[in-house]
Amino acid sequence: METFLDVVGALALILLALIGVVSGLIAAVITGGSKAKYIVAGVLGAVAFPFILAALGVTALAGAGLVLILFTGVIGAVILVVLFKALFGRKS
């Protein structure tokens, strides 16, 4: 895990957080939900997902470079935002 953090670096963490913010804003606009809640869900998903994959042994992620790390951040943000909507979204 420390090796992955060394590879990712501060710039990647900032970019992952920005990806999460954008994903959360897009989800809030689409669903009409609370922007703050979706932004938090997006940031958590975008930042956590690459670390979860690294903890599960997906070592290719650390060696593949920034683009793949950011791509997995997008996937993580989308997954967590969708789960957030399914669990806490308004029931019609």
Mean pLDDT of successive 10-residue stretches along the chain, which has 92 residues: 63 86 88 86 87 77 69 86 82 50
- pTM of the predicted protein model: 0.75
Cβ atoms of 61 and 4 within 8 Å: the answer is yes
Q: What pLDDT was estimated at residue 92?
A: 44
Total domains in the chain come to 1
Q: What pLDDT was estimated at residue 21?
A: 92
14: in domain: no
Q: What pLDDT was estimated at residue 74?
A: 86
The DSSP symbol for 89 reads S
Instruction: Show the domain range for 64.
Output: 35-85
